Structure 1
C-alpha cells in the first residue's frame, strides 16, 4: 500500500470498517447474530446485510457498474427495513458471502475509475443525484464505521466482546469485577448529575 495514495487510504479505512463488522459475528450462534437487541430491531446479521447492500448501490449501481446480485430487499415494493434483518431462510454464509462479493465489486469500481468520476444515485432526488466516486467512497466508509459501532455495542450486550478486532479492543484492560465497579461509578455520577441539574 502507498500511504500517500488517496485510493489506498480510502480503501484502508473502508476495509477496517468491513473487517470490524464481520468480526462481530465470530463465535456467535445463529440466534445471537439475528436477535433484535434494540427497540427498532437492530441485529448483527442485519447490519451485515445492510452494509453489503449499501456498497453495491453506491459503489456499483451509482456508477453504471451493476453487480448482478439479486437484492430483493431493496427492490421497489420491498418491505421497509427488509435490508436490516435476515430471514430464517437466509443463511449466515449467504449474507457474509454477499458482503465479501460486495467488497470485491466496490474495490473493482475504485480501481477502475478516477475519484472525480461522476455517478448518479437513483434513489436520491432528481437534480441532486450526482455524486463523485470520492464522495461515494467517503459516504460508504462513514456508514460502515457507523454500523460497526452499532455492531460493537450489540456484541458487548451479547457476550462482552468489544473492539475493532481481537487484538485491538480500544478499552483499558479489566476483569468483570473492574467493569462492574466502573459501571456502578458511572451510574452514581449520572444519578448525582440528574439530581443537581434537573432536580
Structure 2
C-alpha cells in the first residue's frame, strides 16, 4: 500500500463521518435540530458547530493554513464554556451547515496539499507537534464520536436510526419488533441486576 492509498482511505473515512453527521439533520424542524436531549445539552446542530470548529483548527491553523473566513468565536475562545456545542437563535441552520461544508473543503485542500508526514503545531495541549496523519486519525475519531452522539439524539427526536437515511446498517424491524427487542433487553438487564 502506498502513502497515497493511505491518504485516500483516511479521506474516505472522514467524509463518511461528515456525511453521516449531516444526514442526522435532514427533515427536522429548527426546534428539533437545536433542542437539548441530554442533561448536558447535547443537540444536533451544536454537534455540527463543534466539529466545524475542530476541523478549522486542526486542518487550518495547525498547518499554517488558517480558514479564510473570520474564526468563529468558539475557536478563538471568545465564548462561554460549551459555546461551540449549541446554536444561538440568531445562527441559522443554513449558516452553521454552510460553514461546515466550507471548512471541510478547506480541510480537504490541506489534506491534498500536504504529505501525511507533514508536521503542524496544535496551539494547545502537551503534544504540540502533530503529523497530518495523526490529525486525520484524530478528526476521524472525533467526528465519528460525535456522529454516535447524533445517532442517539436523532433517535430520541423521531426514532430515525443508522448511519445513512436508508437505514441499511440497522436491524430490520417495525415499531412492534423494536418494542419487543427493547423489552427483551430490559428483562435481561433486570435479571442480571437482580431486579427481576
TM over 0.5: yes
Task: Tell me the TM-score normalized by structure 2.
Answer: 0.94
2: CA distance, partners of 1:158 / 1:6? 37
2: CA distance, partners of 1:113 / 1:13? 18
Quick check: 1:42 aligned with 2:81? no
Q: Which runs of 5+ in 1 are unaligned?
A: none
Counterpart position of 2:76: 75
2: CA distance, partners of 1:58 / 1:76? 15
Aligned length: 194
CA deviation map 1:106-158 (0-9, x unaligned): 00000100100000000223xx3100000001100100000001101110111
Q: Which runs of 5+ in 2 are unaligned?
A: none
1: CA distance, partners of 2:142 / 2:35? 22
Deviation at 1:68, TM superposition (A): 2.3
Quick check: 1:183 aligned with 2:182? yes
Task: Tell me the TM-score normalized by structure 1.
Answer: 0.93
Counterpart position of 2:138: 139
After TM superposition, the structure 1 stretch with the greater mean CA deviation from structure 2, 90-99 or 75-84, is 75-84
Deviation at 1:171, TM superposition (A): 1.5
> Which stretches of structure 1, 4 residues or more, deviate above 6 A after TM superposition?
none
Deviation at 1:168, TM superposition (A): 4.2
CA RMSD of aligned residues (A): 1.7
